[in-house]
């Protein structure tokens, strides 16, 4: 198999160890003589995987008592709606830091009154707004911690006077998080914790049951809590890969170690972007994401964009094209992206500079 440097934004690179362990479960799951995708989700072997996966989440993120971790379908995009349905009674506040944040806001608007406390849309979301005020008369405040498309990130758990809800789709498990500061954290698994098909929801149980509207059974978090994420058939394959991905993370030393590695990888690439006069970073420096590094050709070399992509492709680098809405380049440096890939990209940028400047 050829060696690829995978910078895809999601789905994206996953740990080889997790993929190989999954292959074994696909052949013979827990000695059952059946594949993991053939066993009953009510079997004791599968129930053990569900329990272990929730326990791994609680251990890695040091989730306090009073919270549950759910594994659902529908992606982060369905959570945009479920959050509002389950928590918005009179009013909610949103921070608009990108297209995902805007989509979350839009869904909430369909449910009730919403205030946008600040937006960085004016400069194509290249920074995280500061000095905004969180209203105290709202049911919750919603943020998107990592803006996958624009490469900006809120890397510090903020203090909120009202329940804080965060979409952490693209930076979950990249650093330790003080879960006690959040009423809910959710995201699609397909960036840092597994393949597409499963959505994680970390929810504080005593936050639920406060809205008066009718909640459809499948869209009510209580349904999934009461049934340990098995009200209906869970996405077994995706959860299996997530389980193995979390085990890999635990074996590596957990989130402190992961954070150090991620900070180091991102610094290598940002240093090169800042040094190399052919490239410029697009996010403001104090808002830079350690997960998605976004950059463009500098003004003078604008016509070289396609050349650079082709040059990198020749060197087996995949997924460097920026999101279709912003163009340029984006290197996603998720947990499973090895430092070697980042070093290879830096070398590629240096070589391109030598050949073209």
CB contact at 8 A, 262 and 305: no
Which residues ranging from 142 to 161 are in contact with ligand PLP (CB under 6 A)?
A: 144, 148
Coil, helix or strand at residue 33: coil
Q: What is each CA distance from 82 to 67, 191, 304, in whole angstroms? A: 17, 21, 44
β-strand pairing of 91-96 with 113-119: parallel
Q: Is the backbone peptide bond immediately before 11 cis, with ω within 30 degrees of 0?
A: yes
* Number of shown-chain residues binding ligand PLP (CB under 6 A): 12
Options 53-61, 74-82, 298-306, 315-323: segment touching ligand PLP (CB under 6 A): 74-82
Residue 72's nearest CA partner among 243, 232, 247, 241 is 232
Using the rule CB under 6 A, is 197 a contact of ligand PLP?
no
Q: Which CB sits closer to ligand PLP, 190 or 243?
A: 190
Looking up tokens 């982060």 gives 76
The answer to whether residue 125 forms part of the interface with ligand PLP (CB under 6 A) is no
- Residue 297 CA, chain-centre distance (Å), reads 26
Number of H helices, E strands in the chain: 9, 14
Binding string, residues 166-185; x marks residues near ligand PLP by CB under 6 A = -x-xx---------------
What residues between 3 and 42 interact with ligand PLP by CB under 6 A?
A: 10
Least separation in angstroms between residue 124's CB and ligand PLP is: 16
Alpha-carbon torsion angle 173, 175, 177, 183, nearest 10: -40
Q: Please identify which residue in 19, 45, 58, 77 interacts with ligand PLP, judged by CB under 6 A.
A: 77
User: 100 vs 237, which CB is nearer to ligand PLP?
Assistant: 100
Q: Which window, 54-62, 165-173, 250-258, 295-303, contacts ligand PLP (CB under 6 A)?
A: 165-173
CB of 187 to ligand PLP, least distance (A): 7
Choose among 67, 66, 25, 64: nearest CA to 48: 25
- Active site (annotated) includes residue 100: yes
Q: Check binding of 322 to ligand PLP (CB under 6 A).
A: no
Question: What is the binding site for ligand PLP (CB under 6 A)?
Answer: 10, 75-77, 100, 144, 148, 167, 169-170, 188, 191
Where in the sequence numbering do the catalytic residues fall? 100, 167, 191
């Amino acid at each position: 198999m050829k060696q690829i440097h995978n910078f895809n934004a999601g789905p994206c690179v996953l740990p080889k160890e997790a993929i190989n362990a999954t292959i074994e479960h696909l052949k013979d799951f827990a000695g059952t003589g059946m594949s993991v995708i053939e066993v009953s989700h009510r079997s004791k072997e599968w129930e053990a995987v569900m329990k272990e996966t929730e326990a791994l989440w609680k251990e890695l993120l040091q989730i306090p008592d009073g919270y549950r971790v759910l594994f659902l379908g529908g992606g982060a995009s369905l959570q945009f709606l479920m959050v509002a349905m389950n928590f918005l009674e009179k009013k909610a506040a949103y921070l608009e830091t990108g297209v995902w944040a805007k989509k979350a806001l839009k869904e909430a608007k369909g449910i009730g009154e919403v205030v946008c406390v600040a937006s960085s849309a004016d400069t194509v979301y290249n920074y995280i707004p500061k000095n905004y005020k969180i209203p105290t008369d709202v049911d919750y405040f919603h943020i998107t911690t990592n803006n996958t498309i624009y490469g900006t990130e809120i890397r510090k758990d903020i203090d909120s006077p009202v329940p804080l809800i965060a979409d952490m789709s693209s930076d979950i498990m990249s650093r330790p998080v003080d879960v006690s500061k959040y009423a809910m954290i959710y995201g699609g698994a397909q960036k840092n914790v597994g393949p597409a098909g499963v959505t994680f929801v970390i929810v504080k149980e005593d936050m639920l049951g406060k809205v008066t509207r009718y909640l459809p059974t499948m869209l009510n978090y209580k349904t999934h809590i009461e049934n340990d994420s098995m009200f209906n058939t869970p996405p077994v394959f995706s959860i299996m890969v997530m389980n193995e991905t979390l085990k890999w993370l635990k074996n590596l030393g957990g989130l402190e170690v992961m954070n150090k590695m991620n900070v180091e990888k991102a610094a290598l690439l940002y240093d090169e972007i800042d040094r190399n006069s052919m490239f410029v970073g697009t996010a403001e420096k104090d808002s830079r994401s350690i997960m998605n590094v976004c950059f463009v050709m500098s003004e003078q070399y604008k016509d070289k964009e396609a050349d650079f992509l082709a040059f990198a492709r020749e060197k087996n680098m995949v997924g460097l094209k920026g999101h279709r809405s912003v163009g340029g380049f984006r290197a996603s440096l998720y947990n499973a992206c090895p430092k070697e890939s980042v070093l290879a990209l830096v070398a590629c940028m240096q070589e391109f500079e030598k050949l073209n400047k």
